[in-house]
């Protein structure tokens, strides 16, 4: 556990600012969810709607996150933390998740959702270990990859 804390304390989470950081965010996104890989223009559009952050240890990119602001009945926000496979199980996902969750709360979120590619067993275990409950599995029209939506009630802490 000490090793995880030490490594976690080296984590730096920074707002995506500029083309280089946007390209880094897009790289992590595309590695973690290849069926939803996006072009740079799509990432720019997403940056205009959501809060995007990158995670670094020193100058090394280890992950990224997305927070979609609360909307709809029940003020549902989406918090997605992504960590490159070679950097998992070091506490970085927890740091990204806590950062995103804190932001969602400031925005008034009452419920938090996340979305995980079903083949990403690490991602599913991570979400379930934090109290997320699976609410839906689906395949997008014209595609073959299965997605899992999970939900967590902020009041259930």
For residue 6, pLDDT over 70 is answered with no
For 115-154, write each residue's pLDDT tens digit.
Answer: 999 999 999 999 999 999 999 999 988 889 999 999 987 6
For residue 40, pLDDT over 80 is answered with yes
pLDDT greater at residue 143 or residue 84: 84
Determine the Cα–Cα distance for residues 104 and 109; give it in Å rounded to an integer.
5
Closest CA to 53 of 70, 67, 71: 67
Mean of all residue pLDDT scores within the chain: 90
| Residue 55 and residue 95 in contact, taking contact as beta carbons nearer than 8 Å | yes
The burial class, CB within 10 Å (0-12 / 13-18 / 19+), for 19 is exposed
In order of start, what are the domains of the chain with their CATH numbers?
2-156 (3.40.630.30)
| Residue 62 and residue 56 in contact, taking contact as beta carbons nearer than 8 Å | yes
Lowest mean pLDDT among 20-29, 77-86, 129-138, 146-155: 146-155
Determine the Cα–Cα distance for residues 57 and 63; give it in Å rounded to an integer.
10
Could you tell me the pTM of the whole model? 0.87
């Amino acid at each position: 556990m000490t090793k995880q804390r030490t490594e976690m304390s080296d984590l730096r989470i920074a707002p995506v600012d500029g083309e280089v950081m946007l390209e880094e965010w897009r790289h992590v996104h595309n590695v973690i969810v290849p069926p939803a890989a996006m072009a740079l223009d799509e990432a720019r559009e997403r940056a205009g709607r959501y809060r995007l952050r990158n995670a670094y240890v020193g100058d090394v990119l280890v992950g990224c996150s997305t927070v979609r602001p609360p909307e709809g009945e029940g003020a549902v926000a989406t918090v997605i933390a992504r960590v490159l496979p070679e950097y998992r199980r070091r506490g970085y996902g927890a740091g990204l998740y806590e950062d995103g969750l804190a932001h969602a709360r400031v925005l008034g979120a009452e419920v938090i959702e996340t979305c995980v590619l079903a083949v990403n067993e690490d991602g599913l275990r991570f979400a379930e270990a934090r109290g997320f409950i699976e609410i839906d599995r689906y395949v997008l029209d014209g595609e073959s990859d299965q997605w899992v939506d999970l939900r967590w009630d902020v009041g259930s802490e």
